[in-house]
Amino acid sequence: MKHLLSSKELTQEETLKLLARAKEFLPVVRHEPGGAGVHKRVGLAEGKLLATLFYEPSTRTRFSFETAMFRLGGGVISNAQMETASSAKKGETLFDTGRVVSEMADIIAVRHYREGACAELALGSRVPVINAGDGAGDHPTQGLLDIFTISEELGRLTDFTIAMVGDLKNSRVLHSECALLKHFSGVKFLFVSPEGLKMPDQITEDLKASGFSVTEMEKLEGAIAEADVISHTRIQQERFASEEEYLKYKGVYVITPDIMKTAKESAILMHPLPRVDEIDRAVDLDPRAKYFEQVSYGVTMRMAILAELLGV
């Protein structure tokens, strides 16, 4: 891989290689029983520098990339406010930003509010560029960490049912999950959303054309009972043209302990976070809730991605 810009560009071989590499790094970030962190470092990226350029707010993704680079033994330069605190404010193009930063860093992670922007920056860069989320388009590293979570917690990546719940229209995370799960057989997709926030037709039809079972529904309860994996996502206020439009959908699907009583004992509940009101905090005590574990899986997967792209 020269860059990691799209989930759809990843082959099955590349996906499996990243999953295997991430598993190798698990002992570096896994917490000991009782919650104490191991805080290990490996020296694979010693002398290497990661630049994190974020044009859109982030907690987990930016910190996760930076933690991953430090765990690999490298260093980080970072700007969490590229839109207002970089030369973008003066009109610098994404191409030129990529060219300039690549003269200083060995690898670049970019988040942007506009779909396709990360690829524009990569055109100017002389070093690997990673898409850390571009608008409602794609989020390949989150998709990879999610299927890594499924692999580790469910114990398989074939022959299971996944319920994707919430704002399917605008969720770059769920779009990425769909693209990556196409590499694995026997996956059944349940798409749970209001009519106005359905999964884009292109994704739905592509899955069906590839031989996957896809069911679209508006009711949450039936999907929860059938699912082996529940991949929930918030209704994203920042993707709506007005607050009025957002409020039409806010709170439409809320996971509560009572709803989780209908889920399989072996099921897992994922969420990319942040949550707003779509998962009751009481659900945090349910051992099937894996959204906080996803954070450490994210560090592990991003270590694997950085190592592969740096060739270390």
CB atoms within 10 A of CB 195: 7
Which residue among the candidates 111, 182, 290, 302 is catalytic per the annotation? 111
- Report how many helices (DSSP H) and strands (DSSP E) the chain contains, helices first: 11, 9
Instruction: Please give the Cα distance from 211 to 208 (Å, whole number).
Output: 5
Measuring CA to CA, how many Å separate 29 from each of 218, 303, 304, 309?
Answer: 38, 10, 12, 20
- Strands across the sheet containing 129-134: 75-79, 49-54, 107-112, 129-134
Verify whether residue 112 is a known catalytic residue.
no
Angle at CA 252, nearest 5°, toward 147 and 237?
A: 75
Which residue among the candidates 52, 61, 233, 300 is catalytic per the annotation? 61
Which residue among the candidates 62, 139, 182, 232 is catalytic per the annotation? 139
* Residues constituting the chain: 312
Verify whether residue 90 is a known catalytic residue.
yes
Under 8 Å between Cβ of 271 and 291: yes
Which residue among the candidates 8, 21, 60, 239 is catalytic per the annotation? 60
CB atoms within 10 A of CB 46: 12
Instruction: Please give the Cα distance from 278 to 266 (Å, whole number).
Output: 21
Instruction: Please give the Cα distance from 51 to 105 (Å, whole number).
Output: 6
Verify whether residue 139 is a known catalytic residue.
yes
Under 8 Å between Cβ of 250 and 239: no
Which secondary-structure segment (H or E) carries 54? strand 49-54
Active site residues: 60-61, 90, 111, 139
